[in-house]
Chains A and B, each alone.
Chain A
Amino acid sequence: MTFGSGAMTNSINEIPDSKVLFIIGSNPTEAHPIIGTKMKQAVARGAKVVAVDPRRTEMADVADVWLRLRPGTDIALINGIMNIILANGWEDKKFIAERTEGFDQLRAQVAKFPPEVVSKITGVPVDQLIEAARIYATAESAQIFYTLGITEHIYGTDNVMILADLSMLTGNVGKENSGVNPLRGQNNVQGACDMGALPDVLPGYQKVTSPTARAKFEAAWDVPIKSESGLMLPDMIEAAFDHEVRAMYIMGEDPVLTDADANHVREALETLDFLVVQNIFLSETAKLADVVLPAGSFAEKDGTFTNTERRVQRVNKAIEPIGQARADWQIICDLATRMGYPFAYASPADVMQEIASLTPQYAGITFERLGRKGLQWPVPDAEHPGTKFLHEGKFARGKGLFMAIEYQVPDEPPDEEYPLLLSTGRRLSHYNISTRYSEALDSYAPEELAELNPEDAERLGIKDGERVKVASRRGALETKVRITDRVLPGMLWMSFHYKESPANVLTNAASDKVTKTYEYKVCGVKVSKVI
């Protein structure tokens, strides 16, 4: 990363006082509704909004400028905006001089993206590009918000880095209401990363490749730790497919529905010698398992979640587990013990003690301190009040490094055979897979409604509410369609909530070279009416 790790630099409750919101590849009012409401409060208090999205989201409706770019052309767009900023001398020269390096390479790169060219690539009119640049660059403070519309591309990392460039170019980072904020998708994706549920880092982003880091944990755990990174999810799937991985233990997730190219995932898991799935429902993945372990829901256990603004908060047990179900942490402890390494934790509070002792960001955290309000990491010691926003004064890596980013195209753009561009995401009334098990929510939004532009509908002879067959190179499904100008012509949008219309049998498993994030946002499909 150009200045730090993947966490919100600012706090959610700073949002209502923002002067400028630059929202790109993110649909907060549906995917992060409460953050969405805070943004609308900001608008009510006079904040300016730049929305960048091919889809007409609610924020696009209230935006001062809505840049309706072609999916996947974000890099060109941001380069163009930086080009305009430099052309008008709107950059923050003092900030650039004092807190950044690599500006010259950036300038050279950006020079290749004059507004006219960018307008051609992105399909956004020049005057809108200029207005957006003016609003963002000339504001006293401005926040960037992005979500999976930025990361779920094969060049997702580059997308993120160029946003960092934009913020540093204008000095809109490292102060209140100024920063670059990823809105993390899942309730505890931040925490899972913090806790080192990643193949390359131990808790607290301490590299497995670092001898000192390993030494610390080996001392604490009294076992050797492998020095080379392990497999990322997509590689695990491939390795399973190639019989290099023989057994998998999957807790709480359902890759068969949530991972790209689902059919391929299913095949891979079927080839395993042994599969254990631990979940609260018999998920599509669980159906493939040799052993299924019933877990307790969040209401049935104690613990902590860490939200997208780095706030560690309590989860409190409200009821006993249903039937014989057990809390995931108890199951893991049991297994470890049975495998000859006793995990003797009396409670999650004990676990947090060990976490604090090994994770610098969590050093000052205890269940007692979290109380009703939680704490925002880093919390270096027992007195520290927590950290509202990151990078004040200096970046994690010292000076912020400008990265010159080259424009790239998606792995599988539409073509003659698969003429429509499929993009996927979440809707307000559901959350991934689990909310389907809420009677209330499911009766309210019982089925998929893929969004199709009137032009295409006209051409394909499809009417609102009709059922269609959607096919990609990897698979096919049936779904109802909603005809709406929320999507661009040539585009189809689907959620991935519905196992009846599992969008991920269509999506492309090509992934980002660094993070291995699948390109959920772009692949080619064809649509035909079901007769």
Chain B
Amino acid sequence: MEWITLTIDGRTVTVPKGTTVLEACRMNEIPIPTLCHDPELSSYGSCRLCIVEIEGMRNLPPSCVTQATQGMVVRTQTTKVRDSRKTILELLVANHPLDCMTCQKMGDCDLAKYAYEYRVTGELFKGGERRHLPLDDSNPFILRDANKCILCGKCVRACEEVQGRSVLDFSFRGFHAQVGPAFNLPYSESECVFCGSCVSVCPVGALTEKKMVGQGRPWEVEKVQTTCPFCGTGCNFDLNVKDGKVIGVTSNPEAPVNGKALCVKGRFGMDLIHNSERLTTPLIKKDGEFVEATWDEAMDLVAQKLGEVKQEHGADAISVLSSARCTNEENFLMQKLARAVIGTNNIDHCART
């Protein structure tokens, strides 16, 4: 691999050829604010927050699309750069609701993070025109508040490049540009299949998981990576846990098979875990009716009954049905139970559905 050396804020760094200035900075823990950049998506260069000063270049080039070159001299924190970033943030905030207190994204919002870091006041362009678009509350999965949209276009790219659907795109132009399904219809009336990729990339509160609203703040939530219990693809994601309760699912970029992508079931189907119809105690049927039992009662009964059948009719009079929904360990134990404990090969599962 070909390597190049450049100077960033006085530090000499060496990166592989083809690296962008932004990547070079991030490889070396030099912080650069970005809103429209996502390594999983094509580069877009629209938010202009990642601007830097580069010797010999006019204006302030965006680091996310500028290739690092041999001997390049980059400055990321000059007054000019910081002032310009602050002004750009002021412009975004001037056209963004300030209801952070009740916003689902609070604590996880990139705009808020940078606005705070750059001491944005929200005063500079006060009183100017603002967007007033209807809230899209049309479906059980995704809340869409176009007034919070900063038009970074990540959702548009995710929908096209990751999901291959292009349900979302920009419409109109200039100050009136907005993002949404065709004719800006609600999601429910669009071609959307609710994979939620748009939600997973949104840097602000414009797209949020409806079921998680009011359920917990990021800093209260523990994230546990696990494997989806539905189809055979084996997607990974993070279960969001608060107070011993799963409140929802968020993408885990580390996921080996699916990256940030998920389908409607994996992302939005996990409320079944806490469904009120879950079995919470062993049940024994007594004259046609189920009655609650202790584990000892139930397990002793099972052990005894299976024992009897084996005694009277032989081990092969018992059949065991394992499950393609359970873990490898459980399937292993189940077939071991059948073969080693009961003593039969009558072990199968719905392998064929």
Residues of A within 8 A of B (CB): 12-13, 31-35, 37, 40-41, 43-44, 148, 151-152, 183-200, 202-203, 208, 217, 221, 223-226, 228-233, 236, 239-240, 244-253, 255, 258-259, 273-274, 276, 279-282, 286, 289-295, 297-301, 303-309, 311-320, 322-329, 331-336, 338-341, 343, 345, 348, 351-352, 354-355, 372-374, 428-432, 434-435, 437-441, 443-444, 515-518, 520
Contact = CB atoms under 8 A, between A and B. Distances in A.
A245 B333 contact: no
B261 A291 contact: no
Contacts of A329: 327, 329-330, 333
A473 B29 CA distance: 69
A189 B349 CA distance: 8
Given A226-B343, A253-B349, A281-B278, A231 B234 contact: no
Given A335-B337, A435-B272, A307 B309 contact: no
B177 interface: no
B328 A291 contact: no
A266 to B, nearest CB: 15
Contacts of A225: 339-340, 345
B57 interface: no
Interface string B240-272: 010011100000001011100111110011111
B341 A192 contact: no
B277 to A, nearest CB: 6
Nearest to B331: A195
A305 to B, nearest CB: 5
B91 interface: no
Interface centre among A43, A208, A317, A441 (most CB of B within 10 A): A441
Interface stretch (B9-17, B106-114, B225-233): B225-233
Contacts of B278: 280-281, 294, 297, 322-323, 325
B282 to A, nearest CB: 6
A508 to B, nearest CB: 14
Max chain B C-beta neighbours (<10 A), residue from A202, A316, A339, A373: A339
Contact of B281 (A187, A324, A517): A324
12 contacts: A37-B164, A188-B324, A231-B345, A251-B321, A253-B349, A253-B350, A291-B302, A292-B282, A292-B284, A307-B232, A308-B233, A434-B229
B279 A325 contact: yes
Given A199-B347, A372-B254, A303 B329 contact: yes
Given A308-B234, A336-B337, 17 more contacts: A34-B257, A151-B352, A188-B326, A197-B331, A221-B340, A225-B345, A247-B317, A281-B278, A291-B305, A305-B327, A325-B280, A339-B306, A434-B272, A438-B270, A440-B210, A440-B211, A516-B352
Interface string B293-317: 0010011111101110100110111
Which 4 interchain pairs have the tightest Cβ spacing? A323-B280, A307-B234, A40-B164, A303-B327
Given A429-B265, A437-B272, A441-B265, A355 B239 contact: no
Nearest to B140: A440
A495 B236 CA distance: 26
B309 A444 contact: no
Interface of B: 139-141, 161-165, 193-195, 210-211, 222, 224-236, 239, 241, 244-246, 254, 256-258, 261-265, 268-275, 277-285, 290, 295, 298-303, 305-307, 309, 312-313, 315-353
Contacts of A273: 305, 309
Contacts of B141: 440, 444
Contacts of B283: 282, 289, 291-292, 294
A230 B332 contact: no
Contact of B256 (A152, A304, A311): A311
A247 B226 contact: no
B256 A187 contact: no
A182 B30 CA distance: 46
B238 to A, nearest CB: 9
A338 B299 contact: yes
Nearest to B211: A440
A248 B231 contact: no
Nearest to B252: A372
Contact of B268 (A12, A335, A438): A438
B327 A301 contact: yes
Contacts of A185: 231-232, 324, 352-353
Given A197-B331, A197-B347, A192 B232 contact: no
Contacts of A374: 234, 256
Given A233-B348, A246-B317, A298 B234 contact: no
Contacts of B246: 299, 318-319
Given A35-B233, A37-B163, A303 B279 contact: no
Given A32-B233, A313-B227, A518 B352 contact: yes
A431 B265 contact: yes
Nearest to B267: A440
B228 A187 contact: yes
A314 B282 CA distance: 28
B350 A259 contact: yes
Contacts of A248: 318-321
Contacts of B303: 335, 338-339
B40 to A, nearest CB: 11
Nearest to A198: B348
A189 B281 contact: no
B254 A221 contact: no
A244 B313 CA distance: 8
A383 to B, nearest CB: 19
Contact of A338 (B300, B315, B342, B352): B300
Contact of A439 (B271, B313, B318): B271
A245 to B, nearest CB: 5
A251 B319 contact: no
A332 B334 contact: yes
A341 B338 CA distance: 11
Given A236-B319, A444-B140, A189 B351 contact: yes
A274 B320 CA distance: 12
Contact of A297 (B163, B229, B256, B336): B229
A282 B193 CA distance: 30
Contacts of A516: 352
Given A41-B162, A44-B164, A313 B346 contact: no
Given A274-B305, A274-B306, A307 B233 contact: yes
Given A37-B163, A185-B232, A318 B239 contact: yes
Contacts of A441: 140, 264-265, 268-269
A229 B300 CA distance: 29
Contacts of A44: 161, 164
Contacts of A306: 234, 328
Given A199-B347, A229-B345, A291-B282, A186 B232 contact: yes
Contacts of B268: 438, 440-441
A291 B329 contact: no
A334 B321 CA distance: 17
A297 B162 CA distance: 30
Contacts of B271: 438-440
Contacts of B302: 249, 276, 291, 293, 335, 338
A499 to B, nearest CB: 12
A105 B229 CA distance: 43
Given A225-B340, A517-B352, A319 B244 contact: yes
A430 B226 contact: no
Contact of A34 (B262, B269, B277): B262
Contacts of B337: 332, 335-336, 343
B327 A246 contact: no
Contact of A431 (B162, B230, B298, B309): B230
Given A439-B271, A440-B269, A186 B140 contact: no
A339 to B, nearest CB: 5
Contacts of A295: 279
B70 to A, nearest CB: 31
